[in-house]
Structure 1
């Protein structure tokens, strides 16, 4: 066994808690890549809590209780590269998802997170569908259809079957919850009983496109046909999600995608969901775009934000990218800055608060105080060295803790001299 293998085996056998115990930690809580990993960690600025709370409360209650949605249903997070925009978006998404499953409050919402949407609105639509999951979406579409389809069970058999030689047992079998609740199983059952499948398709399409108890999913037949293609195998040989939105042409790209997203929200509402929160992360390269690509980005944001209030959009963007929008679309710019969170560079107070959040997550016991890992001078130097950039500070904290863990002789709290041995 050579020296490298001996060293590697030693590291593999090392217990993380033993490695970081001298620091009062169970592990190194600072991700080496400074990615948005621990999304439960609270923001360091107390003002952010108020804006998040206002945004979620206002968008949800207005969408549920007020049919005339007039207010802007969006939140824009503005900050430089590495300022924590993605982490904050993930934090908000987690809060919404956690509250949605809390039985003590009426808050039924869904979230979709789109990372790097590029310049096409179609990419956003496709990723929303993927986040909702195929089987889940099929079930929700079917729930919008079958209550009207079988409102009168006796007339259902008269409508779709030539023979009247069905016993009560046959009828009960078709309408068993496990069959009725699954569109594919229900379809196969009707087909085996020699039902009129074409008539079934036609009526299902009419249910989606006609107003039923003042609730219409869509008035666009092509969108309704795409939905039927998802739940009935004979309606569409290809069930890829691209097929659902693939009919969109260059001429009507914004209009069709807007109509599709609007119909999708109607389906969610029909299934009891009060709001769809769409997170659009990393419009980072926007400021460098020119010509057609810039126009497409403007169209993407306008499709999501400027045309409809029945869904809420959380967008992250740099200040330069935000300013690039202003001359291209003043109306869109005004909407983006109407509800805005600005992530400033960390100072000594907010930087320490962020570091303490991470340290508390990794401390050996919840009953002990925050481990005093970094000296005040070291913390000051790290904030200065990283210019208050959250991502840079997290990466540097990771390196400092690893360096200290590797060292046999160091003080607690760690002193600023350790920075001399760290390449950053």
Structure 2
């Protein structure tokens, strides 16, 4: 986390000048601070559909007609004292405008109905549904609700319940698709299972980050199976309700996946003011030492990128020269300790090639660079701490030396 910051993109109004920035990795947070960003995770969530226009099921005309979230808030404050309650599912979803299921509505309705029964067992509750979708193990709560006397009435898509308000009372009429009979009753509360819909500013954020939306207005991942938390745009990831309606457990799983993918991408990005190190490490000792450092949680700067070779003696001078020419500020070669080489004398050959007269270090010096930019070290498989210390020392040394001037000349 030393190279990037996490910011909240919930309020996109304060990000209006994002695209005018000279460096695309600089962006503005809500306090107008410039932050260096390596990756972005879009986790802006979604919002509840409010059926004001048109007034579906007379929403907004009576204080007893509420959405599930509004009802849940009153329920949490113990403000529900009712003789009869009706709940209508699939409000604003699974229709021509929004053909998707919001996934959580049935679970929330059953949870709130059970809570009402817990507070007042005598309350009559009717759940008017097209299909009950209690995903996964939540089916047991549906069974519990039926056992506690909650009545479920199915209706057809083209025969939605009719709601009227007469003399301050709420009336609900529905045709039971199994009994083929009309049922009409007055209720104290009518609770609407409203759809989960995309945030109103999702389109602005989509244009800002140059990432696509689905036809429904949610953010679209790169590939449903192969890259489920990636966007096609590199370095930007997605999770939670911003992606699609989902259960809390699914949002948590997706957020962990996005964080994992983002951490990899962040490590691949080293700011220009930090030294970049290419490491050639032998398969048998130094690479295993680096692995030991990771497993043992020995901390070292993330400035180094390792390339595994079978032996340090396999590192050709051209590897070092090309690394420096193509942008590395330093090159690290790691091998087995002398007399421990798996190929008998590969490390001895590497030492001669790097340090002897007319060796790599001398050629680097002739090119106008400090020969300390090339470092040879012996690290065994058990020396994770030594590997971490060597990388720390080398990074600090390169910071003191400054940027690779040869790299700057060829730009």
TM-score, normalised with respect to structure 1: 0.26
Using the size of structure 2 for normalisation, the TM-score is 0.26
Q: Which has the higher contact order (CA 8 A, sep 6+)?
A: 1
